[in-house]
Structure 1
Amino acid sequence: MSKEQTMADFSSLNSPKRILSLTKERATVSFPDPDDKVSGFAVSEEHGPKPSEVYGFVGSISTVVTTVIFLVWAYVPEPWLHSVGITYYPSRYWALAVPAYAMVTIVLAMGFYLGLNFMATPPPTSLNTMFDDYSREPSSSVPSVEGDELPIEPISDIGINQVNDLMFNPAE
Protein backbone atom coordinates (compact mmCIF):
# COMPACT_ATOMS: atom_id res chain seq x y z
CA MET A 1 0.00 0.00 0.00
CA SER A 2 1.32 3.38 -0.87
CA LYS A 3 1.19 6.48 1.27
CA GLU A 4 -1.32 8.19 -1.08
CA GLN A 5 -3.66 5.20 -0.94
CA THR A 6 -3.56 5.19 2.87
CA MET A 7 -4.30 8.94 2.96
CA ALA A 8 -7.24 8.48 0.56
CA ASP A 9 -8.70 5.72 2.76
CA PHE A 10 -8.26 7.85 5.87
CA SER A 11 -9.92 10.90 4.30
CA SER A 12 -12.83 8.80 3.05
CA LEU A 13 -13.54 7.68 6.61
CA ASN A 14 -13.87 11.28 7.77
CA SER A 15 -15.89 12.52 4.82
CA PRO A 16 -19.45 13.73 5.46
CA LYS A 17 -20.79 11.08 3.08
CA ARG A 18 -19.22 8.31 5.12
CA ILE A 19 -20.53 9.71 8.41
CA LEU A 20 -24.00 10.17 6.94
CA SER A 21 -24.10 6.62 5.65
CA LEU A 22 -23.06 5.31 9.07
CA THR A 23 -25.81 7.23 10.79
CA LYS A 24 -28.37 5.95 8.30
CA GLU A 25 -27.32 2.40 9.08
CA ARG A 26 -27.60 3.01 12.81
CA ALA A 27 -31.01 4.60 12.45
CA THR A 28 -32.48 1.43 10.96
CA VAL A 29 -31.71 -0.64 14.06
CA SER A 30 -34.89 -1.40 15.96
CA PHE A 31 -35.31 -2.67 19.49
CA PRO A 32 -38.25 -4.94 20.28
CA ASP A 33 -38.53 -3.77 23.94
CA PRO A 34 -39.05 -0.02 24.47
CA ASP A 35 -37.33 -0.30 27.87
CA ASP A 36 -34.02 -1.28 26.24
CA LYS A 37 -31.35 1.33 26.71
CA VAL A 38 -28.47 2.36 24.52
CA SER A 39 -25.58 4.06 26.32
CA GLY A 40 -27.76 5.04 29.27
CA PHE A 41 -30.57 6.71 27.30
CA ALA A 42 -33.96 5.16 26.64
CA VAL A 43 -34.78 4.50 23.00
CA SER A 44 -38.01 6.18 21.97
CA GLU A 45 -39.84 6.92 18.77
CA GLU A 46 -40.15 10.65 19.51
CA HIS A 47 -37.10 12.84 19.16
CA GLY A 48 -36.46 16.27 20.57
CA PRO A 49 -37.06 17.83 23.94
CA LYS A 50 -40.16 17.18 26.00
CA PRO A 51 -42.55 20.11 26.49
CA SER A 52 -41.82 20.18 30.24
CA GLU A 53 -38.10 20.56 29.49
CA VAL A 54 -38.78 23.45 27.13
CA TYR A 55 -41.09 25.17 29.64
CA GLY A 56 -38.49 24.70 32.38
CA PHE A 57 -35.72 26.14 30.22
CA VAL A 58 -37.80 29.14 29.10
CA GLY A 59 -38.98 29.69 32.67
CA SER A 60 -35.47 29.65 34.10
CA ILE A 61 -34.12 32.02 31.43
CA SER A 62 -37.04 34.42 31.82
CA THR A 63 -36.62 34.36 35.63
CA VAL A 64 -32.95 35.31 35.32
CA VAL A 65 -33.70 38.08 32.79
CA THR A 66 -36.54 39.46 34.91
CA THR A 67 -34.36 39.43 38.03
CA VAL A 68 -31.56 41.30 36.24
CA ILE A 69 -34.01 43.90 34.90
CA PHE A 70 -35.51 44.34 38.38
CA LEU A 71 -32.10 44.76 40.03
CA VAL A 72 -30.98 47.27 37.38
CA TRP A 73 -34.19 49.26 37.81
CA ALA A 74 -33.96 49.16 41.62
CA TYR A 75 -30.28 49.96 42.15
CA VAL A 76 -28.91 51.92 39.19
CA PRO A 77 -29.13 55.70 39.72
CA GLU A 78 -31.60 57.66 37.60
CA PRO A 79 -28.93 59.75 35.76
CA TRP A 80 -27.30 56.53 34.53
CA LEU A 81 -30.64 55.19 33.27
CA HIS A 82 -31.33 58.51 31.50
CA SER A 83 -27.85 58.45 29.89
CA VAL A 84 -28.61 54.99 28.45
CA GLY A 85 -31.93 56.23 27.12
CA ILE A 86 -34.30 54.67 29.64
CA THR A 87 -36.62 57.43 30.73
CA TYR A 88 -39.91 55.64 31.40
CA TYR A 89 -40.01 53.20 34.32
CA PRO A 90 -42.19 52.67 37.41
CA SER A 91 -41.60 54.56 40.64
CA ARG A 92 -38.83 53.22 42.90
CA TYR A 93 -41.45 52.91 45.63
CA TRP A 94 -42.60 49.66 44.02
CA ALA A 95 -39.10 48.14 44.31
CA LEU A 96 -39.70 47.99 48.06
CA ALA A 97 -43.49 47.77 48.15
CA VAL A 98 -44.02 44.68 45.94
CA PRO A 99 -41.61 42.37 47.83
CA ALA A 100 -42.95 43.62 51.18
CA TYR A 101 -46.56 43.07 50.11
CA ALA A 102 -45.67 39.62 48.77
CA MET A 103 -44.00 38.56 52.04
CA VAL A 104 -46.90 39.85 54.16
CA THR A 105 -49.37 38.05 51.88
CA ILE A 106 -47.46 34.76 52.23
CA VAL A 107 -47.31 35.08 56.05
CA LEU A 108 -51.03 35.87 56.24
CA ALA A 109 -51.88 32.96 53.93
CA MET A 110 -49.88 30.59 56.14
CA GLY A 111 -51.67 31.93 59.23
CA PHE A 112 -55.05 31.55 57.52
CA TYR A 113 -54.21 27.97 56.51
CA LEU A 114 -53.12 27.14 60.06
CA GLY A 115 -56.34 28.66 61.43
CA LEU A 116 -58.47 26.60 59.03
CA ASN A 117 -56.69 23.43 60.17
CA PHE A 118 -57.34 24.29 63.82
CA MET A 119 -61.01 24.93 63.04
CA ALA A 120 -61.35 21.59 61.20
CA THR A 121 -59.65 19.57 63.96
CA PRO A 122 -61.96 18.20 66.65
CA PRO A 123 -61.20 19.17 70.27
CA PRO A 124 -58.98 16.81 72.30
CA THR A 125 -61.96 15.72 74.47
CA SER A 126 -63.95 14.54 71.45
CA LEU A 127 -64.33 10.83 70.81
CA ASN A 128 -63.77 11.57 67.11
CA THR A 129 -60.04 11.71 67.84
CA MET A 130 -60.15 8.00 68.78
CA PHE A 131 -62.94 6.56 66.64
CA ASP A 132 -64.07 7.20 63.08
CA ASP A 133 -66.14 5.47 60.40
CA TYR A 134 -63.37 2.96 59.71
CA SER A 135 -62.62 1.93 63.32
CA ARG A 136 -62.89 -1.80 63.98
CA GLU A 137 -62.76 -3.67 67.24
CA PRO A 138 -60.52 -6.76 67.33
CA SER A 139 -62.40 -10.01 66.91
CA SER A 140 -62.83 -11.86 70.20
CA SER A 141 -63.62 -15.27 68.76
CA VAL A 142 -60.69 -17.60 68.24
CA PRO A 143 -61.25 -19.85 65.23
CA SER A 144 -60.77 -23.53 65.79
CA VAL A 145 -58.04 -24.70 63.48
CA GLU A 146 -56.41 -28.08 63.62
CA GLY A 147 -52.65 -28.08 63.93
CA ASP A 148 -50.20 -25.43 64.96
CA GLU A 149 -51.09 -22.83 62.36
CA LEU A 150 -53.49 -20.06 63.27
CA PRO A 151 -54.86 -17.67 60.65
CA ILE A 152 -53.78 -14.04 60.67
CA GLU A 153 -56.35 -11.92 62.45
CA PRO A 154 -58.10 -9.26 60.37
CA ILE A 155 -56.80 -5.73 60.74
CA SER A 156 -58.30 -3.80 63.65
CA ASP A 157 -57.65 -0.88 65.98
CA ILE A 158 -56.03 -1.23 69.36
CA GLY A 159 -58.32 -0.01 72.12
CA ILE A 160 -57.38 3.11 74.07
CA ASN A 161 -57.41 1.14 77.33
CA GLN A 162 -54.77 -1.27 75.95
CA VAL A 163 -52.62 1.64 74.75
CA ASN A 164 -52.85 3.34 78.15
CA ASP A 165 -51.98 0.09 79.94
CA LEU A 166 -48.92 -0.44 77.76
CA MET A 167 -47.68 3.16 78.02
CA PHE A 168 -48.47 4.19 81.57
CA ASN A 169 -48.63 1.04 83.76
CA PRO A 170 -45.30 -0.26 84.99
CA ALA A 171 -44.22 -3.67 83.71
CA GLU A 172 -45.13 -6.35 86.23
Structure 2
Amino acid sequence: MEDRHSVNSPRRILSFSKRRRATVSFLDQDDRTYSGFGPKTSEVYGFVGSITTVVATGIFLVWAYVPERCLNAIGIYYYPSRYWALAVPAYAMVTLVLALVFYIGLNFMSTPPPTSLNKMFDEFTREASSCSPEGDDRPIEPISDISIDKINALMFNDVN
Protein backbone atom coordinates (compact mmCIF):
# COMPACT_ATOMS: atom_id res chain seq x y z
CA MET A 1 0.00 0.00 0.00
CA GLU A 2 0.99 3.56 -0.53
CA ASP A 3 2.03 5.77 2.37
CA ARG A 4 -0.81 8.19 3.12
CA HIS A 5 1.62 11.01 3.90
CA SER A 6 3.20 11.09 0.44
CA VAL A 7 2.47 13.37 -2.48
CA ASN A 8 2.97 11.91 -5.97
CA SER A 9 3.21 13.79 -9.23
CA PRO A 10 4.55 12.70 -12.60
CA ARG A 11 7.78 14.65 -12.12
CA ARG A 12 8.35 14.84 -8.38
CA ILE A 13 7.85 12.44 -5.51
CA LEU A 14 7.76 14.14 -2.10
CA SER A 15 7.46 11.94 0.95
CA PHE A 16 6.51 13.10 4.47
CA SER A 17 6.94 9.97 6.49
CA LYS A 18 7.38 9.87 10.27
CA ARG A 19 9.82 6.97 10.00
CA ARG A 20 12.34 8.90 7.93
CA ARG A 21 13.01 12.50 7.09
CA ALA A 22 11.40 14.24 4.10
CA THR A 23 13.00 13.40 0.79
CA VAL A 24 12.46 14.80 -2.67
CA SER A 25 13.42 12.81 -5.73
CA PHE A 26 13.04 13.83 -9.34
CA LEU A 27 12.38 10.81 -11.54
CA ASP A 28 11.57 10.69 -15.20
CA GLN A 29 9.20 8.06 -16.54
CA ASP A 30 12.11 6.35 -18.32
CA ASP A 31 14.37 6.34 -15.24
CA ARG A 32 12.02 4.21 -13.15
CA THR A 33 12.78 0.54 -13.20
CA TYR A 34 10.07 -1.91 -14.13
CA SER A 35 8.99 -3.70 -10.95
CA GLY A 36 7.14 -6.53 -12.70
CA PHE A 37 3.68 -5.46 -11.56
CA GLY A 38 1.28 -3.95 -14.08
CA PRO A 39 1.77 -3.28 -17.77
CA LYS A 40 4.68 -1.33 -19.20
CA THR A 41 3.89 1.91 -20.98
CA SER A 42 5.24 0.64 -24.30
CA GLU A 43 3.04 -2.45 -24.08
CA VAL A 44 -0.05 -0.33 -23.49
CA TYR A 45 0.78 1.94 -26.43
CA GLY A 46 1.38 -1.08 -28.67
CA PHE A 47 -1.90 -2.71 -27.65
CA VAL A 48 -3.93 0.47 -28.14
CA GLY A 49 -2.21 1.10 -31.47
CA SER A 50 -2.95 -2.39 -32.77
CA ILE A 51 -6.61 -2.19 -31.71
CA THR A 52 -6.95 1.25 -33.33
CA THR A 53 -5.45 -0.07 -36.57
CA VAL A 54 -7.85 -3.01 -36.69
CA VAL A 55 -10.89 -0.80 -35.99
CA ALA A 56 -9.83 1.81 -38.59
CA THR A 57 -9.28 -0.91 -41.20
CA GLY A 58 -12.72 -2.36 -40.45
CA ILE A 59 -14.42 1.04 -40.78
CA PHE A 60 -12.57 1.68 -44.04
CA LEU A 61 -13.62 -1.68 -45.51
CA VAL A 62 -17.25 -1.16 -44.48
CA TRP A 63 -17.25 2.33 -46.00
CA ALA A 64 -15.59 1.13 -49.21
CA TYR A 65 -17.60 -2.03 -49.91
CA VAL A 66 -21.05 -1.78 -48.29
CA PRO A 67 -23.68 -0.32 -50.67
CA GLU A 68 -25.21 3.09 -49.93
CA ARG A 69 -28.69 1.70 -49.28
CA CYS A 70 -27.32 -0.58 -46.53
CA LEU A 71 -25.50 2.34 -44.90
CA ASN A 72 -28.69 4.42 -45.08
CA ALA A 73 -30.69 1.54 -43.59
CA ILE A 74 -28.52 1.49 -40.46
CA GLY A 75 -28.70 5.28 -40.09
CA ILE A 76 -25.45 6.44 -41.70
CA TYR A 77 -26.24 9.21 -44.16
CA TYR A 78 -23.05 11.28 -44.20
CA TYR A 79 -19.80 9.73 -45.38
CA PRO A 80 -17.04 10.73 -47.83
CA SER A 81 -17.31 9.99 -51.53
CA ARG A 82 -16.40 6.47 -52.65
CA TYR A 83 -13.85 8.02 -54.99
CA TRP A 84 -11.54 8.50 -51.99
CA ALA A 85 -11.71 4.78 -51.14
CA LEU A 86 -9.54 4.14 -54.19
CA ALA A 87 -7.79 7.49 -54.50
CA VAL A 88 -6.17 7.69 -51.05
CA PRO A 89 -4.46 4.25 -51.18
CA ALA A 90 -3.39 4.88 -54.79
CA TYR A 91 -1.95 8.30 -53.91
CA ALA A 92 -0.18 6.81 -50.88
CA MET A 93 1.43 4.04 -52.96
CA VAL A 94 2.54 6.45 -55.71
CA THR A 95 3.97 8.83 -53.09
CA LEU A 96 5.90 5.96 -51.48
CA VAL A 97 7.33 4.80 -54.82
CA LEU A 98 8.32 8.36 -55.81
CA ALA A 99 9.98 8.93 -52.43
CA LEU A 100 11.96 5.71 -52.85
CA VAL A 101 13.05 6.67 -56.39
CA PHE A 102 13.99 10.16 -55.17
CA TYR A 103 16.05 8.70 -52.30
CA ILE A 104 17.91 6.31 -54.61
CA GLY A 105 18.53 9.16 -57.07
CA LEU A 106 19.98 11.35 -54.31
CA ASN A 107 22.32 8.52 -53.31
CA PHE A 108 23.49 8.12 -56.91
CA MET A 109 24.08 11.88 -57.20
CA SER A 110 26.10 12.05 -53.98
CA THR A 111 28.28 9.02 -54.80
CA PRO A 112 31.48 9.64 -56.78
CA PRO A 113 31.66 8.06 -60.25
CA PRO A 114 33.23 4.60 -60.60
CA THR A 115 36.41 6.03 -62.15
CA SER A 116 37.02 8.46 -59.26
CA LEU A 117 40.04 7.93 -57.02
CA ASN A 118 37.99 9.23 -54.09
CA LYS A 119 36.53 5.74 -53.77
CA MET A 120 39.95 4.24 -53.05
CA PHE A 121 41.66 6.98 -51.04
CA ASP A 122 40.45 8.98 -48.05
CA GLU A 123 41.95 11.01 -45.18
CA PHE A 124 43.27 7.84 -43.49
CA THR A 125 45.17 6.53 -46.53
CA ARG A 126 48.97 6.48 -46.20
CA GLU A 127 51.19 7.08 -49.19
CA ALA A 128 53.65 4.35 -50.16
CA SER A 129 56.70 6.56 -49.51
CA SER A 130 55.58 7.41 -45.97
CA CYS A 131 55.29 3.74 -44.98
CA SER A 132 58.32 2.42 -43.16
CA PRO A 133 58.44 -1.36 -42.70
CA GLU A 134 59.15 -1.61 -38.98
CA GLY A 135 57.94 -4.26 -36.57
CA ASP A 136 54.45 -5.54 -37.24
CA ASP A 137 53.84 -3.11 -40.12
CA ARG A 138 56.28 -4.97 -42.37
CA PRO A 139 54.51 -6.56 -45.34
CA ILE A 140 54.55 -10.33 -45.74
CA GLU A 141 56.92 -11.44 -48.45
CA PRO A 142 55.24 -13.25 -51.30
CA ILE A 143 55.90 -16.97 -51.57
CA SER A 144 57.00 -16.61 -55.20
CA ASP A 145 60.13 -14.73 -54.06
CA ILE A 146 61.53 -17.79 -52.28
CA SER A 147 63.81 -19.70 -54.60
CA ILE A 148 63.74 -23.47 -54.99
CA ASP A 149 67.37 -23.70 -53.81
CA LYS A 150 66.46 -22.07 -50.48
CA ILE A 151 63.54 -24.44 -50.02
CA ASN A 152 65.76 -27.48 -50.73
CA ALA A 153 68.43 -26.19 -48.37
CA LEU A 154 65.86 -25.67 -45.60
CA MET A 155 64.33 -29.08 -46.11
CA PHE A 156 67.60 -31.00 -46.13
CA ASN A 157 69.12 -29.10 -43.20
CA ASP A 158 66.09 -29.91 -41.05
CA VAL A 159 66.37 -33.64 -41.80
CA ASN A 160 70.07 -33.92 -40.88
**Which structure features the higher share of strand residues?**
2
Aligned to 1:93: 83
Structure 1: which 4+ aligned runs deviate by more than 4 Å? none
Of 108, 127, 132, 1:140 maps to 132
Give the letter for the 1:142 counterpart: E
Residue 85 of structure 1 deviates from its aligned partner by: 0.3
Residue 49 of structure 1 deviates from its aligned partner by: 1.3
1:5-41 Cα distance to aligned partner (Å, 9 max, x none): xxxxxxxxxxxxxxxxxxxxxxxxxxxxxxxxxxxxx
Distance 1:74 1:57, change over 3 A: same
Give the letter for the 1:115 counterpart: G
Distance 1:52 1:44, change over 3 A: closer
Q: Does 1:119 align with 2:109?
A: yes
SS, match of residue 99 in structure 1: helix
Distance 1:94 1:134, change over 3 A: same
TM-score between both structures, scaled by the size of structure 1: 0.56
Of 71, 82, 87, 2:72 maps to 82
1:69-109 Cα distance to aligned partner (Å, 9 max, x none): 00000000000000000111000000000000000000000
Instruction: Please say if residues 34 and 40 of structure 2, whose CA atoms lie closer than 8 Å, have aligned partners that are also in contact.
Output: no
SS, match of residue 124 in structure 1: coil
Stretches of structure 2 lacking an aligned partner (at least 5 in a row): 1-32, 139-160
- 1:8-157 aligned within 5 A: 44-45=34-35, 47-136=37-126, 139-143=131-135, 152-153=136-137
Partner Cα separation in structure 2 for residue 69 and residue 132 of structure 1 = 56
SS, match of residue 113 in structure 1: helix
Residue 126 of structure 1 deviates from its aligned partner by: 1.1
SS, match of residue 98 in structure 1: helix
Q: For CA contacts below 8 A with separation 6 or more, give which structure has more relative contact order.
A: 1
Give the letter for the 2:114 counterpart: P
Aligned length: 104
Residue 153 of structure 1 deviates from its aligned partner by: 3.6
Stretches of structure 1 lacking an aligned partner (at least 5 in a row): 1-42, 144-151, 155-172
TM-score between both structures, scaled by the size of structure 2: 0.60
